[in-house]
Amino acid sequence: MKTTSRGLVRTVLALVGALCCGCATHHAADPPQQAAAQLPGPSTAAPSPAAPPDPAAVGANELGQVPILMYHRLVEQPTSVYDRTPAAFRAELERLVAEGYVPVTTTEYATGRIDLLAGAHPVVLTFDDGDATQFALGPDGQPAAGTAVAILLDVAARHPGFRPVASLYVNAGPFDSPDGAALRWLRDHGFEIGNHTRDHTNLATAGEREAQEAIASGQREIERAVPDYRVTSLALPFGAAPSNGGLALRGGAEGTAYEYVCVLMVGAGPAPSPFASTFDPASTPRIRSQDPAGEDARYGSTAWLDQLAAAPAQRYTSDGTPDRISYPASAGVTPAAHFADRATAY
């Protein structure tokens, strides 16, 4: 069932300056290897050295589905359906490589900064709760061996083009790093730091004021450790949205205002393209990383990656041209109105 498309992921990717929102925070968050790269865009005076890829030839579908994978702890002896072993995590990354996926962050996904080679598929890797098995700094100031971030970096080093980026959703005091050094390392290396509320509050049972305080205080904790960082996405604790769902996207408390481009839920299927009319930044679904066996495995990552591989027309496939949104007329998905001028059916 797996398809191999190693050639698609071998080439260095680029984040195009023209597509960036222009804010200093985002530039600071870009990995150096991407920020330095340039691709010709439509407004560039110099002629493009090569014609843009033919969308039909690469099966482009930029209105297709994007898997946003959700991880919690990496442990040798899982005790819940949310745990994975380090070996299973590495194997899942290797599968993503083999099937032509390339990681983007939640914010890159939600803002449409999905600048991949023609034929590649975006995937978002998300981690909740700030657990030290996801990331910790060793005595040498580098990611501790065996953590998810260290494994991701190792897989990416073996497969150039597989971007070592992820979005980590933290509560107070993440990654056993009281001085905040862990968060600053993540920021400096292109990882996204997202809000998961300060105290892992159930926002569905909180009042409106309490919900905003929970979110704002979580953001404040991140900003305290990384003062120049702008938090732009939230993962709902327990997947529970406030009764006034808009308060997850924007609000404020005690002098801290927040506004997010994406609010992540807990389950239970692929997310729509950010260019599709069905994209809802206030409630974006994720897929729990999970083996094919076990509780509710049909909602897990192995099952969903199998389905996307078996139905490639459903999956987001890049056309290789950042400013153009290509999709097959047969896709059955309509572009969002505010992207209609960039969308081209074939």
Q: Which residues bind Zn ion (CB under 5 A)?
A: 128-129, 237
Q: CB nearer to Zn ion: give 8 or 235.
A: 235
User: Which DSSP helix (H) or strand (E) runs through 288?
Assistant: strand 287-288
Q: Which of 208, 301, 290 is nearest to 250 (CA)?
A: 208
Q: Where are the alpha helices (DSSP H) in the chain?
A: 6-10, 24-29, 32-35, 55-58, 86-98, 106-110, 148-158, 181-188, 208-225, 246-249, 301-310
Residue 139 to residue 64: CA distance in whole angstroms? 43
Residue 126 to residue 165: CA distance in whole angstroms? 10
C-alpha of 72 from chain center:
15
Min dist CB 181 to Zn ion, Å, is: 22
Residue 29 to residue 258: CA distance in whole angstroms? 18
Q: CB nearer to Zn ion: give 127 or 191.
A: 127
Min dist CB 141 to Zn ion, Å, is: 27
Min dist CB 235 to Zn ion, Å, is: 7
Q: CB nearer to Zn ion: give 111 or 167.
A: 167
Q: CB nearer to Zn ion: give 163 or 288.
A: 288
Residue 3 to residue 6: CA distance in whole angstroms? 9
Min dist CB 286 to Zn ion, Å, is: 12
Min dist CB 195 to Zn ion, Å, is: 11
Structure tokens at 11: 């080439």
Report the residue closest to Zn ion, judged by CB. 128
The residue with tokens 């996801």 is 134
The residue with tokens 């498309």 is 5
Min dist CB 288 to Zn ion, Å, is: 12
Q: CB nearer to Zn ion: give 237 or 274.
A: 237
Q: CB nearer to Zn ion: give 100 or 218.
A: 218
User: Which DSSP helix (H) or strand (E) runs through 249?
Assistant: helix 246-249
Q: CB nearer to Zn ion: give 197 or 318.
A: 197
Residue 161 to residue 98: CA distance in whole angstroms? 12
Structure tokens at 239: 């997947």
Min dist CB 193 to Zn ion, Å, is: 15
